[in-house]
Amino acid sequence: MNAHTRRPQGGHMDRSQVLHFSLEGKPLVGFKGDTLASALLANGIRLIGRSFKYHRPRGFLAAGVEEPNGLFTLGSGGRTTPNVVGTTVALYDGLIAHRQNAWPSVEWDWMAINSLLAPLLSAGFYYKTFMGPCKGSWMFYEPFIRRAAGLGRARHIKDPDRYDTRHAHTDVAVIGAGPAGLAAALQAGRRGARVTLIEQDSLLGGCLLSESSPALTEWRQQVMAELASLPRVKILTHTTALGLYDGHTLALVERRDASAADPTRGQAREVVITLRTRALILATGAIERPLVFGNNDLPGVMLHSAVHTYSERFALNLGSRILCATNNNSVYASACALAQHGAEVIIADSRPHIDQALMESARAVQIRVLTDAQLISAQGRRHVRAATLAVAGQSRPTTLPCDLLTLSGGWNPTVHLSSHTGIAPVYRAAVDAFVPGRYASGHYGAGAIHGCYALPEVIREGATAGQDAAMQAGYPQPVDVIAIPAVSTVPYAFELPRTAYPRTRQKAFVDFQTDVTTQDLTIAHEEGFVSVEHLKRYTTLGMGTDQGKTSNVNGIQHMAALRDVPIPSAGTTTFRPPYTPVSIGALAGRRVGQHFRPIRRSPLHDWHATHGGVFTEAGPWLRVWYYQWAGSSVESAYLEEMRVVRQGVGLSDVSSLGKIDIQGPDAAEFLNRVYVNGFAKLPIGKARYGVMLNDDGTVLDDGTTARFSDTQYFMTTTTAQAVEVMSRLEFLTQQVWPELAVNVTSLSDQWAGLCIAGPKARAVLQNAFPTLDSSDAAIPYMGAREASLGEVPLRLLRLSFSGELAYELYVPSEYGQALWEHLLVAGAHLGIQPYGLEALASLRIEKGHVAGLELDHRNTLDDLGLGKMASRDKAYIGRALSQRPGLKAMDRWSLVGLRLTTTGSPLRGGAVLFAKDEPLTGHGRGYITSVTWSTELNQYIALALYQGGLRHEGEEIVCAYPLKNEYTRATIVSPVFIDPSGARLHV
Amino acid sequence: MLRIPCPHCGLRDYTEFQYGGDASKIRPVHTEECLAPWHDHVFLFDNPKGVHREYWQHRLGCRQWLIIDRHTATNVIEPTTRDPTNSDLMNSDLMNTGRQP
Ligand SMILES: [Zn+2]
């Protein structure tokens, strides 16, 4: 550790805890309480990166979240995180850091040659040069540009760390734990409110951490002690408020250092917290504004407040000859502190007249004050060694040697969160700053966020905000107002920037991170960019990962000067979440891999998994695709399963179907209004196939509904539409026909569904339920029975999706597996086997039953060949709009069957259909929706939607699948490929 | 985040709800056979910047369909005014306090 840099005493580090870390593999040490930035500076490392475009050497400008230059890649392997701001990283043992954007090294960077190309890299350079006139030029140049101009790189290795999500509630959220936030939290806490105090830093105190005044130090300690004693006050450090949203909701990210979170013990490295609050207090402070002059990006040129923080909080002497350039009062007290630590300090104040008391305080510690002094440029190669100023009364510029140049161009209140709510910041001339336009209802602000900088006043504002917010949140009991420390301050005063920046041949940076200079802004102005939003995009001002925290206001001021308009007329920019960059891992939380979205499983899932079931995703469902008894791949297995159903008997799990209980005296009337076909006269003990339409006349869903008593019905829906149909029925009963005495209840999760299908299905049923009369007379086609398996109620419907004799059986979910196993035993001697989704789908294609692939919410009943079902004698939902001329046109895409006529390539789902002799261009006349190999017909068959539908029956058409360069021919046939008379259903 | 006061469940995140469309218009009677009223009802909507009356279903809660007056620019929700099946609940105190867990 460089003894010349770090003083032997002082600061907020814990010097008893020495931490080891590395930069580019070089071992270094720091203390607990250091940031990566303060530890590097303590080790004498000043050069921390190369700039984005020109690869100029850069050092730290700041000490907090506003840092534009100090970006590092942290960690290694899957734990690598690029673009981490070094000033915000709490140092931990074992930290691995690398500097970015330099090759082969930051000290000797080949890409610095970009500096010589600087005239080419000005505003709009990329647009003008690579976007035209020659098409494709961007494609050619892009990889080179991306390599030369860039930030850190993400890795393609899986991140082993764990990230989490938390939901939280509070009465009063306080964002920022500086003097205003501490006062607000304590005042609200005294009222008994649940308070959540959110601080991005590792320590509470904000600017108080850089104060050496005993009164303030003591005040901070007392407030922290009382906060800790209040059980309803929750303090979140290392936690950033990323965004403020409607409904008093905050998105926070809590960052734990990589060494403290062990994923193998379930500990998360970062947690995104959604905090809902009744009231919130913005005590987000302000960020110092740099000055703009030539070479203002040299290492050793820093924000004055940052130098003060490094000096007081981290006990670092960063310079021995310090030049402080300012246009306001805020630097004097801290400059005196720097002088007291032994530095030779000169203040260059751009104002001609300065408060006498300030002048005297500076002189008392041998600080020389130059008035009416304007910085022109800084000199030095890798570090500042002198600065040139224009001083009033001197005919030529003065050059002063210095090894640290500090800047204070005033303050930018941190208005980001208030801006997230859609309230634009407004320029307040009295403090030369943008402040929140107003506070939304239930929001309060305190301190520097609206330009209040004098400490006793800041604390008083905080206490008032805490009082008001607690009241708003329902805690009206008055309590003692917290103590206000007795400190004297000089009122904040400043000079507005001069009309334009001093002319210099050197680059004067406005945005350090994206390398935007005054020259770029001037070019944009000359090319006619007047809107700040356009200016940003053209020059990339404020478009870096720091979102222009140090650059936006300077850019707006420069633009206003060029246009010769006041600052409010030049506009402001919109801030959007996140306030600081957030890792994708934190946003994803646990929603990765299998947990990306919820998975629905059948109650029989475990049986399938242990009996050779191979699963596939069907919407949110995991369903059995095929069983391994039938083959080792789906291509062979589903054919075997189909054969079993067509020739013997198969058993399948249809639990994913929607199941809805409909009860009430008006249930029949209700169903009669919902379905296009008549349901009023459905007898008890019978089921009926039904179709329902959307209001606009297109088909919503199909399914069957069975009647079990005068007032009780049992509806099934398709798997795909189960959720929507249920919601629709609830809408109709609650909002449209509240006068109907009917209730609907979802049974989808409560009942398991099984299907026995095949010519031997009845024999299985007889064996399984010896006491049940399952003859054709007792349970005819479309018959519905209630039965029982022991004590367990059972519903039995004789209906068929596959075209064979088939029964659907429903039992409470917890008995699904018992019934399944019972049926397998009962059918063992008949060769019963389970079959999966692929076979189920293929069986229905042979039979021409439409399913989700055909039902795309655009087809009409006629399109699907169901037109005859619609009743002419009653009203039903969607009836009026189904009569629209466009839906009755003859050339609509309608359901047809296709038989492959050529050999070689198979039919493919999604193939585009064309008439035989027309050119194969455009969108064609339809497409194939479902394809299967037919075991009955021994050829590929398909269902398709084709323009004009079955009016083209018998025609040969072309099926184009250009992705595989396949062009096959098929003949249009009836979609019912097998058993068109339905003889197999009535055995 | 938009938060919706459900008269049955209290103030809840909008992610528990499903938007159900414009509730400001009166649906034609079921037996209406003319195209025009259905066309207007199904296809023609205002897109106001201001208070919009809309349906929301509390799908991950009580499953009730609510009618809510939401300001489209501020997301501020006015107390619910109309629910043919639950008029008594709609006017209860829960509405005003936005019960929180
Ligand atoms: Zn509810």
Is A122 contained in some domain? Answer: yes
CA distance A456 to A174: 19
Whether B91 shows a pLDDT value over 50: the answer reads no
Whether residues A19 and A121 share a domain: the answer is yes
Span between the terminal Cα atoms of chain A, in Å: 93
Angle at CA of residue A100, ends A97 and A104, nearest 5°: 105
Which of these ranges, A322-326, A591-595, A631-635, has the smallest mean pLDDT? A591-595
Nearest C-alpha in A relative to B11: A247
Question: Kind of pairing, strands B77-78 and B3-6?
Answer: unpaired
B-contacting residues in A 719-748 (Cβ below 8 Å)? 727, 730-731, 734-738
Q: Which residues of B touch A872 (CB under 8 A)?
A: none
Confidence of residue A147 (pLDDT cuts 50, 70, 90): low
As a whole number, mean pLDDT of residues A651-657 equals 97
In a domain, A148, yes or no: no
Q: What is the mean pLDDT of chain B?
A: 83
List, edge to edge, every strand of the sheet that includes A743-746: A687-693, A699-707, A712-717, A658-663, A743-746
CA distance A808 to A653: 10
Q: Is A249 on the interface with B (CB under 8 A)?
A: yes
Q: Rounded CA gap, A496 and A937, in Å?
A: 88
pLDDT over 70 (residue A930): yes
3-state helix, strand, coil in chain A (%, to 5): 30, 30, 45
CB A616 within 8 A of CB A625: yes
pLDDT for the residue A852: 87
Is residue A618 assigned to a domain?
Answer: no
Asked if residue A151 belongs to a domain, the reply is no
Higher pLDDT, A124 or A252: A252
Query: Residue A950 maps to which CATH number?
Result: 3.30.1360.120
Rg (CA), chain A: 38
**Helix locations, A648-719, DSSP H:** 667-674
Q: How many domains does chain A have?
A: 7
CB contacts < 8 Å between A and B, how many? 74
Contact A301, A384 (CB under 8 A): yes
Same domain, A632 and A681: no
The whole-number pLDDT of residue A122 equals: 65
A333, pLDDT greater than 90: yes
Q: Is the pLDDT of residue A481 over 50?
A: yes
Would you state the pLDDT for residue B100? 37
Tens digit of pLDDT for each residue in A11-60?
Answer: 999 999 999 999 999 999 999 999 999 999 999 999 998 888 888 999 99
DSSP code for B73: T
pLDDT category of residue A457 using cuts at 50, 70 and 90: very high
Contact between A781 and A986 (Cβ < 8 Å): yes
ipTM over 0.90: no
Within a 10 A sphere around the Cβ of A519, how many other Cβ atoms?
15
Domain limit, last residue, from A354, A383, A406: A406
Q: Does A883 touch chain B (CB under 8 A)?
A: yes
Whether residues A112 and A230 share a domain: the answer is no
H helices present in A721-875, as ranges: 722-731, 761-768, 816-826, 837-847
Interval A962-986 mean pLDDT: 94
Outline where DSSP puts E strands in A553-657.
600-601, 613-618, 621-627, 650-653
User: A146 C-alpha to center of ligand 1: Å?
Assistant: 51
Closest CA to A609 of A592, A628, A632: A628
Query: At A926, which helix (H) or strand (E)?
Result: strand A926-934
How many Cα atoms sit within 13 Å of A960 on the Cβ side? 16
Which of A144-158, A280-294, A303-317, B2-16 comes out lowest in average pLDDT? A144-158
Using the predicted structure, report yes or no on whether residue B23 has a pLDDT greater than 90.
yes
**Dihedral of alpha carbons B56, B60, B62, B63, sign:** positive
For the record, the structure tokens of A268 come out as 């998360």
Task: Provide the pLDDT for residue B98.
Answer: 37
Chain A residues with CB-CB distance to B70 below 8 A: none
By C-alpha distance, which of B62, B22, B60, B69 is closest to B41?
Answer: B22
**CB count, 10 Å around CB of A868?**
8
Q: Which residue has the higher pLDDT, B14 or A55?
A: B14
Q: How far is CA A747 from CA A422, A714, A782, A889, in A?
A: 44, 9, 21, 39
Contact A875 B31 (CB under 8 A): yes
How many angstroms away from the CA of A421 is the closest CA of chain B?
9
Rounded to the nearest angstrom, the distance between the alpha carbon of B64 and the centre of ligand 1 is 6
Q: Give residue A791's identity as a one-letter amino acid code.
A: E
CATH code (residue A50): 3.10.20.440
What are the C-alpha distances in Å from A745 to residues A654, A664, A740? 19, 12, 15
* Higher pLDDT among residues A485 and A613, named by residue: A613
Q: How far apart are CA A238 and CA A333, in angstroms?
A: 29
Do residues A122 and A190 share a domain?
Answer: no
* A477 belongs to a structural domain: no
pLDDT above 70 for A528: yes
Q: Give A545 Cα–ligand 1 centroid separation in angstroms.
A: 41
Q: What is the pLDDT of residue A910?
A: 95
Q: Provide, rounded to the nearest whole percent, the portion of chain A with pLDDT above 70.
A: 94
Q: SS3 for A809?
A: strand
More confident residue, A1 or B47: B47
Task: State which of A702, A721, A746 marks the end of a domain.
Answer: A746
**A829-874: pLDDT as tens digits:** 999 999 999 999 999 999 999 998 999 889 999 999 999 999 999 9
Q: Is A386 in contact with A380 (CB distance < 8 Å)? A: yes
CATH number for A190: 3.50.50.60
Distance from the Cα of B85 to chain A's closest Cα (Å) equals 6
Residue A766 three-state SS:
helix
What average pLDDT score do residues B51-72 get? 95
* Number of neighbouring beta carbons within 10 Å of residue A263: 14
Burial label for A107, CB within 10 Å (0-12, 13-18, 19+), is exposed
The whole-number pLDDT of residue B96 equals 37
Distance CA B101, CA B96 (A): 15
DSSP code of residue A35? B
A246 touches chain B (CB under 8 A): yes
Provide the 3-class DSSP secondary structure of residue A621. strand
Q: Which residues contact A26 (CB under 8 A, 6 or more apart)?
A: none
Same domain, A116 and A177: no
Pairing of strands A939-947, A398-401: unpaired
Q: Give yes or no: residues A114 and A220 share one domain.
A: no
Say whether A535 sits in a helix, a strand or coil.
helix
- Of residues B73 and A756, more confidently modeled: A756
Strands A163-175 and A195-198, sheet pairing: parallel
* A838 and A848 co-located in one domain: no
Query: Looking at chain B, which residue has its C-alpha nearest residue A878?
Result: B38
**When comparing pLDDT for A155 and A984, which is higher?**
A984
Asked if A246 and B75 come within 8 Å (Cβ–Cβ), the reply is yes
Is pLDDT larger for residue A156 or for residue B82? A156
pLDDT digits (tens, 9 = 90+) for A718-741: 999 999 999 999 999 999 999 999
Smallest CA–CA distance, residue A464 to chain B, in Å, is 25
DSSP A823: H
- A422: nearest CA in chain B? B74
pLDDT tens column, A268-318: 999 999 999 999 999 999 999 999 999 999 999 999 999 999 999 999 999
- B93 pLDDT more than 50: no
- In our burial notation (b when 16+ CB lie closer than 10 A, e otherwise), range A152-161 reads beebeeebeb
Pair A852, A829 in one domain: no
DSSP at A682: P
pLDDT score recorded for residue A42: 96
A 10 A CB-CB count for A193 gives 26
Which pLDDT value is given to residue A570? 85
Ligand 1 centroid to Cα of residue A741, in Å, is 22
Q: Give the domain-ending residue among A406, A423, A450.
A: A406
Task: Identify which of A169, A735, A883 has the shortest CB distance to residue B65.
Answer: A735
**Joined tokens for residue A73:** 């890649």
Interstrand relation of A71-74 and A81-85 (parallel, antiparallel or unpaired):
antiparallel
Is A124 within the bounds of a domain?
yes
Q: Which of A735, A746, A873 to mutate to test the interface with B (most CBs of B within 10 A)?
A: A735
| Closest CB from A245, A727, A735 relative to B18 | A727
Do A55 and A79 belong together in one domain? yes
How far B51 CA lies from chain A's nearest CA (Å)? Answer: 16
Q: Which residues on adjacent β-strands are paired with residue B68?
A: B54
CA distance A657 to A797: 14
Whether cis (ω within 30° of 0) applies to the bond prior to A143 is no
Rg (alpha carbons) of chain B, rounded to whole number: 15
Q: Quickly tell me which residue has 């891992």 as its tokens.
A: A585
Distance, CA of A66 to CA of A552 (rounded, Å): 12
| Amino acid in position A331 | V
Pairing of strands A966-973, B3-6: unpaired
Same domain, A369 and A437: no
With an 8 Å Cβ cutoff, the interface of chain B facing chain A consists of: 1-3, 13, 18, 20, 27-28, 30-35, 38-39, 41-43, 55, 57, 59, 63-65, 67, 73-75, 83-85, 100-101
What confidence score (pLDDT) does residue A135 get? 53
Taken in order A948, A951, A955, A959, the sign of the CA dihedral is positive
* Contact (CB<8Å) A730/B18: no
| Total residue count of chain A as it appears in this document | 987
DSSP three-state, residue A237: coil
User: How many C-beta atoms lie closer than 10 Å to residue A451's C-beta?
Assistant: 17
Domain spanning B3-94, CATH class: alpha beta
CA of B3 to the centre of ligand 1 (A): 12
Residue of A nearest to B28 (CA): A736
What's the whole-number average pLDDT of chain A?
A: 92
Distance CA(A934)–CA(A220), nearest Å, equals: 81
Q: Which range marks the domain in which residue A943 is found?
A: 844-882+889-985
> Is residue A580 in some structural domain?
no
Structure-model confidence comparison of residues A730 and A538, the more confident one: A730
Q: Which residue has the higher pLDDT, A104 or A421?
A: A421
Q: Are residues A331 and A354 in the same domain?
A: yes
> What CA–CA distance (Å, rounded) separates A288 from A844?
71
Integer Cα distance of B60 and B6 in angstroms: 12
Q: What is the pLDDT of residue B18?
A: 96
Q: Which residues contact A909 (CB under 8 A, 6 or more apart)?
A: A853, A928, A929, A930, A931, A942
> Ligand 1 centre from A810 Cα, in Å?
30
- Domain match, A400 and A327 both: yes
Domain residue spans of chain B: 3-94
Q: Within a 10 A sphere around the Cβ of A718, how many other Cβ atoms?
A: 19
Q: For residue A112, what are its two tokens?
A: 């610095």
Chain A (685-704) residues lying within 8 Å, Cβ to Cβ, of chain B: 695-696
What distance in Å separates the CA atoms of residue A93 and residue A36, rounded to the nearest whole number? 11
pLDDT digits (tens, 9 = 90+) for A356-415: 999 999 999 999 999 999 999 999 989 999 999 999 888 899 999 999 999 999 999 999
Contacts of B6 in chain A (CB under 8 A): none
| Whole-number pLDDT of residue A136 | 57
For residue A198, list its beta bridge partners.
Answer: A175, A236
* Distance (Å, whole) CA A83 – CA A151: 7
Residue A519: inside a domain, yes or no? yes
| Tens of pLDDT, residues A84-117 | 999 999 999 999 999 987 655 666 666 666 666 6
What's the CA dihedral at A558, A559, A562, A568 to 10 degrees? -100
pLDDT: which is higher, A539 or A683 = A683
Least confident of A473-477, A513-517, A747-751, B97-101: B97-101
- Residue A618, pLDDT > 60, answer yes
Q: How far, in Å, CA of A731 to CA of A745, rounded?
A: 12
